[in-house]
Amino acid sequence: MKKRIVSIMSILALLLVFTGVFMTANETAAFAAGEEAAAEAAADSTGDKAMAAGIVVGLAAAAGAIGMGIAVAKTTESMARQPEIAGKINSTMMLGMVFIETAIIYALVIAILIIFVL
C-alpha cells in the first residue's frame, strides 16, 4: 500500500515538474524569437497558465482526497479496536484533516498566483 502511494506521489511530482519546465521553455523560446513573437506568445501563454493552474489544483485535490481517505480509514479502524479513546482519536484525525486541507488551499493560492501574477 505504501509503495503504491509513493509511486503515485512521485508520478504527480514529475507531472508538476514537467508542467513547469514546459511553461518556462515556451516563454524562453518566445523571448528569444523577438518582440512580435513574444507578444504573440504572451497571448498564447494565458492558456498555458490556465492549464498549469488546473493541473496544480487537480493534483493537490486528488492527493488530498487520497490522504483524507486513508486517514479516515485508519481512524475508523483504530476506533473500532479501542472505542474507549474514540474521542481523542477523532480530534487528532480532525487536526490532520485541517493540515491536509491547508495544503490544498495553498495549491489553490499558487494557482491563482500563476494565473494573475505570472
Cα distances (Å, whole numbers) of residue 10 to 91, 93, 102 = 30, 25, 21
- Residue range 2-116, CATH number: 1.20.20.10
Pick the closest to residue 101 from 75, 52, 68 (CA basis): 68
pLDDT value of residue 55: 84
pLDDT in tens, 47-104: 778 888 888 888 888 889 998 999 999 999 999 999 999 999 999 999 999 999 998 8
pLDDT in tens, 12-43: 666 666 665 555 555 555 555 556 665 665 66
Residue carrying C-alpha cell 474521542: 87
Q: Tell me how far apart the alpha carbons of residues 12 and 59 are, in angstroms, rounded to a whole number.
A: 7
pLDDT value of residue 13: 64
Q: Do the Cβ atoms of 63 and 12 come closer than 8 Å?
A: yes
Strands (E), the chain: none
3-class DSSP state of 1: coil
Give the predicted TM-score (pTM) of the model.
0.61
pLDDT value of residue 2: 62
Write out the H or E segment, with its range, that includes residue 59: helix 35-81
